[in-house]
Structures are given as C-alpha cells and as structure tokens.
A = this chain, B = another copy of it.
Amino acid sequence: MSHIVEKVVAGDVRTVARLIRDIDDGMPEVREVLKGLYPHTGRAYVIGITGAPGVGKSTLVDQMVAHLRKRDKTVGVLAVDPTSPFSGGAILGDRVRMQRHSMDQGVFIRSLATRGHFGGLTQSTRSAIDVLDAMGKDFILVETVGVGQDEVDVVRSAHTTVIVVIPGMGDDIQAIKAGILEVGDIFLINKADREGADKTLSDLRLMIDMDQKKYDRGSWKPPILKVQAVFDKGITEFLEEIDRHAEYLATTAGGLQTRGTRDKVSQELGEMIKARLIEEVIDRLTESGDFDRAVESIVKGKTDPYTACENLVFPILSSSP
C-alpha cells in the first residue's frame, strides 16, 4: 500500500484517479491507503459550492478554477452528482465538465457518483477530499446539489461553504434556503442580471439576519454577492470574500468554535462508524441467510418488520456494552 501512498503524495494523476474511482466504488482496500495518506492531509483549503439545479454551479466552479489558477494555486474539483440508484455512474461525466481546464496539470477534476454504497456520498466525498489534499492541491472545490441531508453533510466538511441561488425561484426556494442557511458562509446570487435580483438579495439578507440571532455562528456575517458567472462578473470580489472568510477562520475564536477541529473530527468519526458498522453487519446477515429468512417471514405475515429488525440486530451486538 505504501507505494500507492507515495505516488499520491507525489501527485501522480493516474494513481489518484484510480484511487478515487475505487473510493467511489466502495472498494474496502482503499481504507489502508487512506490511513497512510492521513498524515499528509490538512493542508488544502476546501470550498463547498451548493445550490439547487439550474443556478449555474458548474459555470461558477469553472470560473473559480480559472481565477485560482491565475493566482498560481493548484485546484482539485469534486463534482458530487445526484445519480441513479439503479444504474450507477455519474451522468454528468468528467468529460463534459470544464473542458478548458482539461490540459492543465494544476487542475484535477473528478465526479463522484456513489450510490448504494454503505456510507454513501458523504464518506466517499470526505475520502476523496483527503486524497486531493494529500496530492498537494491548494484548493479543493466540492460542488453539490444542495438539497437533502447528504448534501448538507458534504458541505459541512468544507472550510468555506458557498450557497448559490438565482433570482425568483419561487416560494419553494424558501424551504431550501432555510434548510441550508446555517451552513452558508457566503451567499451568491448568480444570473444577477435577471429580474428580481434585488428582491432576492433583500429576502436573503433578512433570512440570514434572523438566522444569525437563532444560531451562534460567531461574529462572521455571511456576505451576499451578486455575480454573473457566465460573464465572469463578480468572481474576483467573490474570491476576496473567500480569502476574508479563511482569514476569519484562522484568526477568530468564533470561527474556530463553529468549524473547530474537535467538532469536525467528532462528526466525521461518527459517520465513519455508522458506515463501517452497517457494512459489517449487512454482510454477516446476508451471508448467514438470516436476512432472507426474516424477509420471508414478513412477506408471509408471520411477523412485523419492527420485531424482525430487533431479532436480527440484538444477537449481532456483543453483550458487554
């Protein structure tokens, strides 16, 4: 395993690509590699970009990459795609993404599909972030569709979380904004030339200010910026806000409280335990045939699923707590 670790740390693109694919496929062997890579992580700055479909996240990420490259920073991009639970595989493949950066050695772009694997999206994304971090990328951009617990968990791994909206998305947008409001460090109104941008801005401002009182996010007041990613308008200012937030995290006690190492480690370890536990137990129950027998019994009406569940779970846990 150690030669894979060495190759990743040396930035070998093919090794990294294969490793991320293995992570996405849920291969158990990657765990040993990840253990070896762990001491090489913690240097990259991770930015989560999230928002509903249609807000232009891909274009925005593309522009961010271009700007960061102008600063001579290396960039890793993880595009977390909502994909089919049946057919697997990222629909929006890496091929169609950001082709203009495809020949740039300082940019590494991958999609993560991960459906149906234990631990799912969050685990795979975290592991992939670790790999790009160990590979030496200065910035890692994680793009997700910002709805659902999975996606919220994913962006919580980021140092700076960016929420992207567009003007006038209807009333339902309120629900999303509310759901993800508290994890947003910077808000972008993309396609800001559209009608209603100012209304969206004032609505957002109001919601964030109300939220500020409810939840202690330290002294950071999330800025709201109007941008037009497709015309490269406002991106420089946007990246300056990211710098400002990074500075805030590095220097402010409030920042550390919100995104502190201990909280983050605690959350990530908890999720890792869940994923691992499920993997081990489902394997055992499937191999022993106990699971199939329980299904049979429920189908025949001999038992209810709640009782069947307890009968399967309790014997598998060791009696000493």
Contact = CB atoms under 8 A, between A and B. Distances in A.
Contacts of A92: 174-175
A53 B147 contact: yes
Nearest to A33: B306
Contacts of A173: 53-54
A182 interface: yes
A94 to B, nearest CB: 14
A239 interface: no
Interface residue tally of chain A, by bracket?
35 or more
Interface in A57-115: 57-58, 81-87, 91-92, 115
Contact of A54 (B170, B269, B299): B170
A172 interface: yes
Given A53-B52, A288-B321, A82 B309 contact: no
Contacts of A156: 85
Nearest to A127: B306
A206 interface: no
Choose among A34, A84, A169, A306 the residue with the greatest number of B CB atoms under 10 Å from its CB.
A306
A27 interface: no
A10 interface: no
Given A272-B306, A308-B269, A312-B273, A81 B318 contact: no
Interface stretch (A12-20, A196-204, A290-298): A290-298
Given A38-B306, A318-B315, A87 B214 contact: yes
Interface stretch (A1-9, A219-227, A246-254, A259-267): A259-267
A120 B180 CA distance: 17
A295 B266 CA distance: 6
A1 to B, nearest CB: 12
Contacts of A153: 85
Contacts of A145: 147-148, 172, 175-176
A28 to B, nearest CB: 11
A265 B305 contact: yes
A240 interface: no
Contact of A278 (B86, B268, B274): B274
Interface string A128-171: 00000000000000000101111111001000000000000111
Contacts of A152: 85
Nearest to A114: B149
A310 B277 CA distance: 9
A121 B152 CA distance: 14
A276 B278 CA distance: 10
B183 A85 contact: yes
Contacts of A151: 147-148
Given A276-B310, A282-B273, A305-B269, A53 B169 contact: yes
A175 B87 CA distance: 13
20 contacts: A31-B306, A39-B304, A53-B170, A58-B172, A82-B176, A84-B178, A85-B156, A86-B182, A87-B182, A92-B174, A145-B175, A147-B148, A148-B148, A148-B149, A150-B150, A261-B299, A277-B277, A277-B316, A280-B313, A288-B321
